[in-house]
Structure 1
Amino acid sequence: MGSLLNGFAQNIEMLIIGRVFLGIGVGFCNQAVPMYLSEMAPANLRGALNIGFQMATTIGILAANLINYGTSKLSGHLGWRLSLGLAGVPALMVTVGGLILPDSPNSMIDRGERQEARRILQKIRGIENVDEEFQDLIEASEASKTVDNSWKNILKPRNRPQLIIAILIPAFQQLTGINVIMFYAPVLFKTLGFGDDAALMSAVITGVVNVLATSISIFSVDRVGRRVLFLEGGIQMLVCQVLTAFLIGSTYGTTGHGQFSKAGANFVVFLICTYVAAFAWSWGPLGWLVPSEIFPLETRSAGTAITVIFNMIFTFIIGQCFLTMLCYFKFGLFLFFSGFVIIMTLFIYFFLPETKNVPIEEMNTVWKAHWFWGNYIPDEVVGTYAKNIQLPQKL
């Protein structure tokens, strides 16, 4: 509906209403898709399968940038109408997929469809004996039914760790400064000598790097874990931001007058690509993965909604403030966001436990073992699966 209204818009009101529909649709997808993937995936592949969401997003960004560049060359109103209307293609794919895909076993059990839930669980796991996992799902469902209001329940102390993560992770994801790089890239590429092709070159180069680096995350997240990617990505982004700020500041200063040498220009392009790669295999996909896998069933819907809300709030704030900040901070804007990268990297190091290979309904056992969050988690959170595994006393 949003893409059709935008593509056939006759006035500004149709464009605004169309954008509202698109925003609602994106909000629903950002909440539902990561949560659905985390519930359906086996624990040892949950990270890789969930990051498929981010991979589709990066491919979409690259495709959209190329389409925008191509349609901008068309005469009259055809270009922008085609560009906006083509948003209906991925929307149609999501709609058809939603009709074909089964509900998750968690959702079926919660609605009383236990036999069908067991059948789906056996099918997606590829084995007949799913008794332990199925029992954990039933226990989670029964626990969720004792909760009258998930929004009130999520404020209780026992849910404090997940709530704080659901707020800070999406906020930090935007405070990495990725939007500054992506917004500023065409300007940088133009000053580096790409001329009128700067928009296309920045879209292609950063878009391709984004896709390739996300694929690295898919293959590594369930092997090395979430924390390693978070920490490595944070350090890599920090170094790239500081060096970029130094090079731009030393060349252009605060007046904007100056000229990069060929070697200097190539090095800045390398830094931008390295920064985008770091984000694409760390804070980009993990910013959606981690919040989608940490909540118990009774607060999962509210928790993932909070994640989307704070992601969109900080995206909006940075989008509105970006140009003003750029005018005042100039190259110092990179240093501004690098300060947040330091804070968020330290937060991950001290406060985010490793969640790889842990079944989603047993995630509370990880919080219980954490040196700080364990104080908030009651002892009765251990389920059928967790009774058969050994976790360290403190993580």
Structure 2
Amino acid sequence: MTESTNGATPGAAATPQPTEPLVKVIAFIATLGGLLFGYDTGVIAGALLFMKHDLHLTSLTTGMVTSFLILGSAIGAISAGRVADRFGRKKVIVVMAIVFMCGSLGCALAPNVVLMIFFRFILGLAVGGAAAIVPIYIAEIVPANRRWQFVTLQELMIVSGQLIAYTSNAAINEIWGGETTWRWMLGVACVPAVILWVGMLFMPDTPRWYAMHGRYREARDVLERTRHSRMVEKEMGEIRKSMDSKSQKHARRQKTISVWMKRLVALGIGIAMLQQLSGVNTIMFYAPTMLQATGLGTNASLLATIANGVISVLMTFVGIMLLSRFGRRPLLLVGQIGCTCSLLAIGLVTWLMPETAHGQPDLLRSYLVLGGMLIFLCFQQGALSPVTWLLLSEIFPMRIRGLANGISVFAMQMTNFSIAFMFPILLDHFGLTTCFFAFAAVGVAGGIFAIIFAPETQGKTLEQIERHFKKHLQDDPLPQSGS
């Protein structure tokens, strides 16, 4: 597949480039961070059912165990962004792999709820660091015409990690059973963490990071290893031009961020929060809990949750293919509208259908709720999430890319934290119907934001995108929709 360049500025993105084998290896190794992100956020959905009894969890401590990983990820994202700009994208990912290992072991061996919450927070630091830096690392190191494909591989790995978590939860429960099986569920994440750590030791940093620090020889060396020979000089010239402009030199000397960059960061924060305000992670974290609340048993809830993971993986493949045909903005709008309608439908099912039929839990109601979740995930994982991660890796200028992406992911994860922490409490007090209607109402507001502000970046190199936003944001508070 090749990315359409209709309406793109002529440049590197418009020239077909063969993908060198090293690029594929780099992308696979780096996106193991996404796999760990997905596994560690998804595994808690099943582990909670057993941990609840073993650690004597209340609705408050259930929310804390789930959400403190997200709180840690918010802090990890904003910290990793600044560090990655200074010390390199690769070094941050290597350190995150070590934190993944330590956090996973700590969670698996935690003897009480206090240490469980602590190690979930530590694990979250790695989740946030990976979420902020892996997409940047990939976007800066792959050819422009394949950026959409390799950056969205991160989203594919996230949902694959969640599917692996759901599947292993059900398998571990089926094979071993018992209240302590949650420890094995949480400990499995050490395996991909070791592979990520070892693999990244042999990977290069990005040519744009080397250039940002004046290390042009190393930048050229990476381009020669990851590009066809005829493209090296052209891309190297674009990078040099971006770094050597008078405005960039002045900005670096003054150590200030231009007004147009601040406006772009505000746009990135809005795009990032939009993804979480859909309520996606209430479904990914609490699906078994919600299905139990509709009347399904423990085993049935665990098995049904696997369907969420399968749909997420399949629809991410679909989203990757659609990106090559329709661009960023249309998919963002379709995803937002589809998610909102699905949430409204789930709310209507739980409101209009009785909880019991003939004295027994109404299984039709349970399966309709599950069906609504699956339709929601079709729009979320097939459109909204891939576009979000791709836009955040593209829209920021090179000088502040790590920091700006870290701030955006911080805002995303703080939104995620607030929702994950409050959801069990809201579920206890108000029930499923009110929760889903509330998410649908927020989705309407999110759709209005997307219609007004969502940008289109398809078919442009990172340097062309930077020049575009600089031109439009110096005069206007926000870019024109669809620009």
> Which residue of 2 is the match for residue 29 of structure 1?
130
> Which residue of 2 is the match for residue 118 of structure 1?
220
Deviation, 1:11, is: 5.6
Aligned residue among 316, 337, 343 for 1:241: 343
Give the secondary-structure state (helix, strand or coil) at the position aligned to 1:363.
Answer: helix
Deviation, 1:9, is: 4.1
Number of residue pairs the alignment of both structures matches: 375
User: Any unmatched runs of 5+ in structure 1?
Assistant: 379-391
Deviation, 1:175, is: 0.7
Q: Which amino acid aligns with 2:104?
A: S
> Which residue of 1 is the match for residue 402 of structure 2?
301
Is 1:153 aligned with 2:153?
A: no
Alpha-carbon separation, structure 2, partners of 1:335 and 1:34 = 33
Give the secondary-structure state (helix, strand or coil) at the position aligned to 2:458.
Answer: coil
> Which residue of 2 is the match for residue 383 of structure 1?
none
Question: 1:32-77 CA distances to partner (integer Å, 9 max, x unpaired)?
Answer: 1011111122222211110111111111111112223333453667
Give the secondary-structure state (helix, strand or coil) at the position aligned to 1:29.
Answer: helix
1:93-104 equivalence runs, <5 A: 93-104=195-206
Deviation, 1:341, is: 1.6
> Which residue of 2 is the match for residue 281 of structure 1?
382
Is 1:64 aligned with 2:147?
A: no
Alpha-carbon separation, structure 2, partners of 1:9 and 1:187 = 22
1:3-152 equivalence runs, <5 A: 3-9=104-110, 15-72=116-173, 74=176, 79-142=181-244, 146-148=250-252
Give the secondary-structure state (helix, strand or coil) at the position aligned to 1:128.
Answer: helix
What TM-score, normalized by structure 1, do the two folds share?
0.84
Aligned partners of 1:230 and 1:286 also within 8 Å: yes
1:176-325 equivalence runs, <5 A: 176-190=278-292, 194-252=296-354, 260=362, 262=364, 266-325=367-426
Alpha-carbon separation, structure 1, partners of 2:482 and 2:374 = 38
> Which residue of 1 is the match for residue 464 of structure 2?
362
Alpha-carbon separation, structure 2, partners of 1:103 and 1:32 = 12
Alpha-carbon separation, structure 2, partners of 1:246 and 1:7 = 39
Identity, % of aligned pairs? Answer: 29
Aligned partners of 2:329 and 2:482 also within 8 Å: no
Give the secondary-structure state (helix, strand or coil) at the position aligned to 1:314.
Answer: helix
What TM-score, normalized by structure 2, do the two folds share?
0.70
> Which residue of 1 is the match for residue 271 of structure 2?
169
Q: Which runs of 4+ in 1 moved over 6 A?
A: none
> Which residue of 2 is the match for residue 346 of structure 1?
448
> Which residue of 2 is the match for residue 387 of structure 1?
none
Alpha-carbon separation, structure 1, partners of 2:202 and 2:195 = 11
Give the secondary-structure state (helix, strand or coil) at the position aligned to 2:201.
Answer: helix
Aligned partners of 1:59 and 1:211 also within 8 Å: yes
Q: 1:358 to 1:374 in 2, by over 3 A?
A: farther
Q: Which amino acid aligns with 2:150?
A: L
Aligned residue among 434, 438, 441 for 1:332: 434
Alpha-carbon separation, structure 2, partners of 1:295 and 1:123 = 25
Q: 1:246 to 1:310 in 2, by over 3 A?
A: same
Give the secondary-structure state (helix, strand or coil) at the position aligned to 1:201.
Answer: helix
Deviation, 1:188, is: 4.9
Give the secondary-structure state (helix, strand or coil) at the position aligned to 1:240.
Answer: helix
Alpha-carbon separation, structure 1, partners of 2:420 and 2:184 = 25
Alpha-carbon separation, structure 1, partners of 2:387 and 2:280 = 14
Give the secondary-structure state (helix, strand or coil) at the position aligned to 2:297.
Answer: helix
Q: Which amino acid aligns with 2:403?
A: A
Aligned partners of 1:122 and 1:128 also within 8 Å: no
Q: Which amino acid aligns with 2:127?
A: V
Instruction: Give the superposed CA RMSD.
Output: 3.1
Q: Which amino acid aligns with 1:53?
A: Q
Range with greater deviation from structure 2 (88-97 or 323-332): 323-332
Alpha-carbon separation, structure 2, partners of 1:218 and 1:393 = 22
Q: 1:336 to 1:393 in 2, by over 3 A?
A: closer
Alpha-carbon separation, structure 2, partners of 1:249 and 1:377 = 40
Q: 1:32 to 1:188 in 2, by over 3 A?
A: closer
Aligned partners of 2:269 and 2:409 also within 8 Å: no
Alpha-carbon separation, structure 2, partners of 1:149 and 1:249 = 60
Alpha-carbon separation, structure 2, partners of 1:394 and 1:281 = 20
Aligned partners of 1:353 and 1:366 also within 8 Å: no
Deviation, 1:216, is: 0.9
Aligned partners of 1:34 and 1:53 also within 8 Å: yes
